[in-house]
Amino acid sequence: MVYDIDTFYQGLVEHGLILPTGIRGGYGRGAVFEKILRGFNELVSRTAADDGAEELMFPPIVARQLIEKVGYMNSFPQLAGSVHSFFGNESQAREITARTQAGERWEDLLDITEVMLTPAACYPVYPIFSGLLPQGGRLVTVLNWVYRHEPSDEPTRLQSFRMREFIRVASNEDVVQWRNDWLQRSLDLLRGLGLDASSDVASDPFFGRAGKMMAANQVDQKLKFEILVPVISQEKPTAICSFNWHQDHFSGKFGIRNADDTLASTACLGFGLERVTLALIKTHGFDPSQWPEAVRQQLAL
């Protein structure tokens, strides 16, 4: 297998799988790309069917207060997407028109709104767990568009992409067991699609010097795992699925308690749906009609 980012990108464009928009990490997706992505998402749903996860749906925005409360601006300010809008009067509106037409900067005429772009699909879920959980905790699944300010020409690093997540809230023991089970289950699922998948401990890109300590701690305590597949490089495989155990980070902030009134624990797992799609394309080729029959069948292609 040859790994060359430009050739891969060009192939994706030439086969109509992605559509350049001029935004780095913001290309459009063609019909075939979407069919693969949807097929995989539905395969995940079938795999998890017996778990009885509650399926919830949120818009791709979250309350700014929630972002502030969970400390996202301390940990990942470099990735945040804040929504600003215009609150001014007639003459300030004319000023915006003049400046945009003159090609000048105009953002000082805007103000911050009450919302931000969702940075991970699970964020809106934690506040709804507040209070006393039922016996055995809860399990929720969501699919959402998320935003990360990490513009890149590399086709697997997008600014806006979809995450299919499962979020488990229960006792420490149950949560860790659930995470371990899903790690194996996800590896089996991805390998069953012909992907060269392996797992490893990982860390989040916490900002700054203090962030380096947090990342080291995350690795030491094995709080984050990733499933990796070579997509744009053999030596640096791409994370297509992540598992995060937050311990009591969210439960503490939102007052989430187990049925026995102890502080709950949370964990989530997220499939990066565009990355899974790209990993399948890299592995099996640009034309899904030529993919192995067993893979086509599982993805309903």
Which contiguous run of DSSP H or E holds residue 138? strand 138-147
Residues 252-271 as x/- pattern, contact with ligand ATP by CB under 6 A = ------------------x-
**Least distance in Å: CB of 150 to ligand ATP?**
5
Give 128 or 215: the residue with its C-beta nearer to ligand ATP. 215
Contact flag: residue 275 with ligand ATP (CB under 6 A) = yes
Residue by residue, DSSP assigns 250-280 as HHHHHTEE-TTSSBPEEEEEEEEHHHHHHHH
Give 264 or 278: the residue with its C-beta nearer to ligand ATP. 278
The residues of the shown chain that bind Zn ion, judged by CB under 5 A, are 120, 122, 268
How far is residue 36's CA from residue 299's CA, in Å, rounded to a whole number? 7
How far is residue 5's CA from residue 11's CA, in Å, rounded to a whole number? 10
Select the residue interacting with ligand ATP from 189, 274, 277, 298 (CB under 6 A).
274
Give 100 or 233: the residue with its C-beta nearer to ligand ATP. 233
Strands 256-257 and 131-132: parallel
**Least distance in Å: CB of 80 to Zn ion?**
16
Chain position whose Cβ is nearest to ligand ATP: 272
Give 130 or 247: the residue with its C-beta nearer to ligand ATP. 247
Give 34 or 204: the residue with its C-beta nearer to ligand ATP. 204
Residues 210-239 as x/- pattern, contact with ligand ATP by CB under 6 A = ----------------x------------x
Residues 90-129 as x/- pattern, contact with ligand ATP by CB under 6 A = ------------------------------x---------
What contacts 24+ positions apart, CB below 8 Å, involve 184-192? Answer: 185/47, 186/227, 186/241, 186/269, 186/271, 187/227, 189/43, 189/44, 189/47, 190/227, 190/229, 190/240, 190/241, 190/276, 192/298
Number of residues that bind ligand ATP (CB under 6 A): 18
- Please count the other Cβ atoms lying within 10 Å of the Cβ belonging to residue 228: 21
Q: Max CA-CA distance within the chain?
A: 64
Contact flag: residue 158 with ligand ATP (CB under 6 A) = yes
* Angle (CA) 13 284 278, round 5°: 50
Select the residue interacting with ligand ATP from 61, 197, 240, 299 (CB under 6 A).
240
Give 116 or 133: the residue with its C-beta nearer to ligand ATP. 116
Reference 167, options 224, 243, 219; nearest CA is: 243
Return residues touching ligand ATP (CB under 6 A). Answer: 120, 148, 150, 156-158, 161, 163, 204, 226, 239-242, 270, 272, 274-275
